[in-house]
Amino acid sequence: MDISGQYRIAAPRDVVWAALNDPEVLKRCIPGCKELEQRSPTDLAAKVALKIGPISATFNGAVTLENLNPPAGYTIVGQGQGGAAGFAKGRAEVHLTEVGTETDLAYAAKAEVGGKLATLGGRLIQATSKKLADEFFGNFVRELNGEDAAADEPEKQKSRWAKWLRRV
């Protein structure tokens, strides 16, 4: 199955790139994420609890970052085992484009499921995958934009980004 999306983030591209490579930011943004451990600069291990239709499972997985082109983008390759529920694996191309002082984040992903998950039907899996992607990127945009970003003046935004960059 294929899913894609595009999001505008009110932050410079280098700030968005740093956030996409920060395990703590990712952990806060990934729906159902229980654990996220960085094992190397390009390898992470995760434990994520999800409900897909009538099936609930905790997936133990591995994520690898490939084709790194900082700060323009990379490829995320992942796979997870959900015990009796089955498995999920996929890859996503992530591209960051500067638009003035903001960043457009675009992704295109391919995913595959097996086991009990595969019996749920393509439409449910597709809808759930899109919902989870939208939830992740919505969380990610809020993480970088802040709750009151619309009311921020440009100088306050720059100050917030500078503080954020010092944390990472």
Distance between alpha carbon 131 and the CA centroid of its chain, in Å?
12
Return d(Cα 81, Cα 45) in angstroms, integer: 12
Domain ranges of the chain: 2-167
- The DSSP 8-state label assigned to residue 30 in this structure reads S
Tell me how far CA of residue 126 lies from CA of 87, 111, 139, in angstroms. Answer: 15, 9, 20
Distance CA 14, CA 103 (A): 9
116, amino acid identity: K
Which residues make beta-bridge pairs with 92?
Answer: 76, 109
* Per-residue model confidence as pLDDT tens digits over 57-88: 999 999 999 999 999 999 999 999 999 899 98
Indicate the pLDDT class of residue 151, thresholds 50, 70 and 90: very low
Record: fold of 2-167 = Alpha-D-Glucose-1,6-Bisphosphate; Chain A, domain 4 (3.30.530)
Token duo for residue 70: 């900082």
pTM: 0.82
